[in-house]
A and B are shown apart, each in its own frame.
Chain A
């Protein structure tokens, strides 16, 4: 007796046999979905990982970089002060720090008392959860350091006797060159028993109410945390652009999926009708379709997440390096692969697949039972769709324009960019059709005419792949343009802002005064330019007030975006003020308009004399003469100095340490900072370049799959040519030429699209997100490279299909006619 399979299984089996016969379509679908998911996952993984890492590291740093109490002369302070202050109700947190080992090869040790952090919130960051607290606190104690520092530390500790030698544990959250341990352990190692370096004050502590008990008020002073080079804004921008890139990659991937599904449905209509005629209901068929698509998408999503992680892991060192540069350290070297990531990847893959298949589902649910399979008819219908595509394209282009005029906010900016991309993609087939029609009209002779006509006929089948190529190239041109523009701007910005040779951050107004006196006497120093700071409100928003002293270095190097005739004299001698671009955008202030700044001593009314670009600064800022700051902000901070020198900078730095007592870490050597900043950006570019290549790779996959699926149909197109005596080799060349021609037109179309994207990134998204605009730079040599890349992609993608065509046995070509009835 034969065992009969349940009817549903038979249906499903019949349903799925399609893929067995169309392995290529199946592969196309999976590859498309997987690569879309992979790129999306890679970008997301990099973003999340980097953010999480530097959130941790920033938090670790913030745990120590707080307002502190220190001895006037910066010498260690007796630990008795800690108990005295605590008992008088001042919630100080003790800290001991110092260098172990020689400069350059040593390790900065930081000793903390985790129990004192009860009210500060830093302990959980400083001492990671899961630490054996007793081992941390009790002799010989623990020291935390990242791997490289740990190795250095362990050789430094070899001379310490075993009973006092702390156990070193690796903690990736710590900065290179820094180790953290219990205060008692660090005191012992540094020979600072009974002493403290600083007493931290919690953020919420109101410093204005600080009254130090006798005798400490004589010995201690308040010092503010060191000001870091604020590049947060730039980092955010970097991440935002990565995200936009990820979205583009995904879109490109979906084009592949869309084209594969469309073709698959067309190929299957016959089988689906048969199933319907055999009694499978429409609903059941749809459910099966959806289930099948979800199944394929799940597999592809899993492959995609794995691939995405591989990509992210490859790119991570570069991302880590650039962020280490920006933040002074720590993006952990290994990626975490959460369950949520797998789920997220699969979910986006399923959503993408179902989204791309909606059209197909609608078609199936509406299909008539009696209509013959006709791929050619589908293709001709596709040709008609060029019209619809163009209408869509115009719609999106109009939407982009509408948003340009009326939109505001980040979401609108993103929608605008998406509209530009989609509009361009949908307009492409119509544009190509136009070009090919012109070509055909101009062509003379039968073969050229055939060439153009056949290209036109082939266009609908290739249009989705070409759209993907357009998007990939457009995005590449756009993002590379933005990145390259960023590099130029940043370089120029660094030159302009870091015009002095040495920047000094003194720890107090008094120390600044001493430093100025010292520097004025020093023959090697040609100019001392104090930079005072204060905060205020202007136009109802908080602003930073920066004071400067008139000097040719400002007049010569600073580029203003808009200004009066003599902005520097207006600002320093007259009633003027310079405002940053952020304030200009936020308050809608232009040159010549009046600005009221609410100072410490009352309102100050000034006229805007100039607007300066201030990349990466999240805050609004105004610049005034130092004398004005001193008058209107008596308690302003007078700690920053810019020095111009004729001697060697390291010499000056050494003198500052020896003669004024300013440690080297409070000075910034401009050439060092510039070199460092540039290195950071080189790394950032490396990531962009890698992502560019990957997007092009996806477009290449789209091309190859489209060409392969078209290959069968091509036989009908070229067989008559062969029959008329054109050699297969010539036919192959012609086919290749056609593809290259289409790719060339597409690549050329990508240039204006790229410029539009670049503009959208620097002039719309960046302004909406961060309040400052990057100038739009154009890089024609980059475009040429990308056009060549686009052609190369198309060529590589067409190699295999063309090879197959070339190798087609003549018998197959003759069969084309045999099938014609």
Chain B
């Protein structure tokens, strides 16, 4: 895809979403007038909540995977679908719909980071999601149940890479925060948030015409809100880590413009029991940065969860995992050394 087209597509999506994403991710703090509000004590229902929530302004289906090819090559893989509405409620059919969809797919090795983007309008069926059967798609990129419970297919194809994977759920879905109500700021901004952190993966990944058989594990996130960020918040650093012990850790820090960070997270036992982490329990410290054009991105972190005696040094597999998409951000596979050995994903926005 040429730069010009990319720019055109980017400006298209940016302009479309301008009412919501006022300044990229930071704009998630913009006004959510008329849209539904995220409230506590509203239980997440599965599989229903896999489907879109038209009363909310924004939501996403997010899969990241850490894989190993037969020759030992480490790979990371991302599949994301965003839904964005300009008006609440069930949208009109066809192109009159006020919903917009954006898909991102990426494959990362230690030397390459390939990514692609797709844009679509709601109302035509070109992109969408359903709960039963579980499915989310944009064009021929899809995450879908293969018919058997807990078994999914995940695929995407771009000009320089493609993948087709089978995902098998090995543990329960977990609800972050208070039973899925995940608070994002002191002002009370929140989202509904659940994950499938125990997914085994098998399949093939093609990079530049070369096909690898791969295996590993994946993590699915499902999150929706109308105003997930406070006005003064500018971006976040989000970690999902899968420990060799079988435990899982999700922590994030939301940075505000004064330098303050709102931290939150979840500890998930190998059995799939989720314990919300107190913000004072979490420490996220950038150790060194990587220069990508005019941005300095902290791709090397120290992550601590004192109550769990977790003290990790997190390193990116490929520090140049920049998603040069309509709304650019950093997303890539990481590995840890320190108190525990883990693999996972790091996402950094607002840099």
- Footprint of B on A, CB under 8 Å? 79-80, 82-84, 86-89, 91, 94, 113-121, 123-124, 127, 129, 131-134, 137-139, 182-184, 187-188, 193-194
Contacts and interface: CB of A to CB of B under 8 A. Distances in A.
A121 B4 contact: yes
A114 to B, nearest CB: 6
Contacts of B113: none
Contacts of A83: 124-126
A134 B94 contact: no
B5 interface: yes
A184 B96 contact: yes
Interface stretch (B10-18, B47-55, B65-73): B10-18
B19 A134 contact: yes
A115 B121 contact: yes
Contacts of A87: 125-126, 137, 139-140
A124 B7 contact: yes
B125 A113 contact: no
Interface string B87-127: 00000011110101000000000000000011111001110
A82 B140 contact: no
Nearest to A84: B125
B139 A121 contact: no
A132 B11 CA distance: 10
A133 B8 contact: no
Given A115-B119, A118-B119, A194-B94, A129 B100 contact: no
A139 B121 CA distance: 14
A114 B12 contact: yes
A92 B337 CA distance: 47
Contacts of B321: none
A80 B125 contact: yes
B91 to A, nearest CB: 12
A79 B124 contact: yes
10 contacts: A87-B140, A117-B8, A118-B5, A118-B118, A119-B1, A123-B9, A124-B5, A129-B8, A134-B86, A138-B86
Contact of A187 (B2, B95, B98): B95
Contacts of B117: 118
Contacts of A127: 8, 12
Contacts of B2: 121
A124 B139 CA distance: 21
Which of B8, B118, B119, B157 is packed against the most chain A CB atoms within 10 Å? B8
Contacts of A139: 96
Contact of B126 (A82, A89, A129): A82
Interface in B269-297: none
Nearest to B10: A118
A89 B140 contact: yes
Which of A114, A115, A139, A184 is packed against the most chain B CB atoms within 10 Å? A115
A134 B16 contact: yes
A184 B126 contact: no
A220 to B, nearest CB: 17
Which of A94, A113, A118, A138 is packed against the most chain B CB atoms within 10 Å? A118
A188 B95 CA distance: 10
Given A121-B2, A194-B94, A133 B15 contact: yes
A622 to B, nearest CB: 36
A86 B142 CA distance: 12
Contacts of A119: 1, 5
Given A121-B4, A121-B5, A187-B94, A115 B15 contact: no
Contacts of B19: 134
A182 B121 CA distance: 12
B239 to A, nearest CB: 31
B95 A129 contact: no
Contacts of B7: 124
A113 B140 contact: no
Contacts of A121: 2, 4-5, 8
Contact of B15 (A116, A117, A118, A134): A134
Contacts of B11: 129, 133
A129 B4 CA distance: 11
* 10 A-B pairs with least C-beta separation: A133-B15, A83-B125, A124-B8, A184-B95, A89-B140, A115-B119, A184-B96, A118-B9, A86-B139, A183-B95
A265 B239 CA distance: 80
B96 A133 contact: no
Given A79-B124, A118-B117, A184 B94 contact: yes
B140 A86 contact: yes
Contact of A133 (B1, B16, B94): B16
A547 B13 CA distance: 48
Nearest to B9: A118
A690 to B, nearest CB: 37
Given A123-B12, A124-B8, A133-B16, A138 B126 contact: no
Nearest to B15: A133
Contacts of A118: 1, 5, 9, 117-119
A184 to B, nearest CB: 4
A125 to B, nearest CB: 9
A195 to B, nearest CB: 9
A88 B137 CA distance: 11
A117 B140 CA distance: 16
Given A115-B119, A184-B94, A82 B15 contact: no
A299 B12 CA distance: 46
Interface string B28-58: 0000000000000000000000000000000
A129 B120 CA distance: 19
Nearest to A82: B124
A132 B139 contact: no
Given A89-B157, A133-B12, 15 more contacts: A79-B94, A79-B95, A79-B124, A86-B120, A86-B126, A115-B9, A115-B12, A115-B119, A118-B5, A118-B119, A121-B2, A127-B8, A134-B86, A187-B95, A194-B93
